[in-house]
Copies of this chain bind each other. A is one copy, B any other.
Amino acid sequence: MLRGNCIVGQSGGPTSVINSTLAGIIEEAKRSSAINVIYGALHGIEGVIQDKLINLNEIFDSESQIDLLRRTPSTYLGSCRYSLADKDNSVYEKIFSIFKKYNISYFFYIGGNDSMDTVNRLSQYAHSIGSSVNIIGIPKTIDNDIAITDHCPGFGSSAKYIATCIRELARDTQIYNRNTVTIVEIMGRNAGWLTASAALARSEGESCPHLVYLPEFEFSMDRFISDVQNALKLHRNIIVAVSEGIKMNGKYICESSMIGEVDVFGHKPLSGASRVLASVLLQETGVKVRAMELSLIQRAGIHLSSYTDWQEAYDIGAKAVQFAVDGQTAKMMYFYRNSNSPYDVEIRSADVNEVANVEKLVPKEWISEDGNDVKKELIDYITPLIQGEVNLVFNNGLPVFLKRGK
């Protein structure tokens, strides 16, 4: 067992439970006799390179502080989009000199696919120089697009938020006695997991969403119009869940609206897939149509997160520390699902080079043949991940979050 200090960093886009993973690492590292000081790298690997480390033992010296961290969305340590891909040796030398300076034995990096690439490259470099630093990646992403792992921490909470919003919108869209179409745009450029989770709203006799379009299936505007027209024969008020990343002829739909558009200020407005679909539908059918995006709240909205996701995020962080202390390195932690019902997962590790640069998409066989819905297998897969609720700390009517000092 190596004795020394550790660094933990967060990278990529935020989720509502990434700080729960950080909390799991901090608490397990405190419990471990192998780890003395727990450093946090500000803004991911950039914080290591720039020697911007903070002492997390001092900041998280009480259970209440850890608890508040777990109930705070986004990345407490800050994040980065820094890639080691095109960096020369000097950057690696810098990173490992920092490791040496702070007597680092363990490096934990919480992030998505790009971050696992960083973990992979650091691991290879460590091996090449015979470094004894154990390097472990811990997955997080609302997009759920990391390979090998059954699912990613962060996804379940976003899925729960999205499905709840769709169910609330179902009540909202059905108030008037006339046809309406509401097009809800959901995150996920290439992977349709989040958009698919809208379909969970359908339990309890709810028919919404009526149509679901994932980016894994080539989009057709003609088929879309016909799908909506058919759905309107059965239902007065239609809700369409659509991924921001739907494509036609290899091109994002949302990009198509950027051509030739200039507003009165002479600027090109930004536009999303849902707005393009809404404007086409309005012109082609005359039906009352509304476009909306679930926006950043689908990743920042810890006020409606999944307890299962939140607890798993903690557990996978804690387990990462155990595995690192046990001598594992060049690994990514992942969930292996033993069974769906009852839901049972275990936490394992895989060689990170098997993970890096592979994007896990929704399998074609989980999408309906017409490409306008998802199959039961996909719903069964997501359902266990949204179970349970997380209570926040409210003060004066609003949730209290932890803020990092300068």
Contacts and interface: CB of A to CB of B under 8 A. Distances in A.
A228 to B, nearest CB: 15
A47 to B, nearest CB: 9
Given A171-B14, A275-B271, A403-B205, A292 B293 contact: yes
A256 interface: yes
B276 A291 contact: no
Given A80-B177, A261-B262, A301 B165 contact: yes
Contacts of A300: 165, 168-169, 171-172
A20 interface: no
A270 B296 contact: no
A171 to B, nearest CB: 4
B279 A176 contact: no
B293 A174 contact: no
Nearest to A258: B263
A206 interface: yes
Contacts of A398: 160, 163-164, 167, 200-201, 203-204, 386
A267 interface: yes
Interface of A: 13-14, 42-43, 46, 72-75, 78-81, 160, 163-165, 167-169, 171-172, 174-177, 182, 200-201, 203-206, 221, 256-257, 259-271, 275-276, 278-280, 282-283, 290-297, 299-304, 306, 383, 386-389, 394-401, 403
| The 3 A-B residue pairs with the shortest CB-CB distance in the complex, in nearest-first order | A386-B397, A74-B171, A172-B300
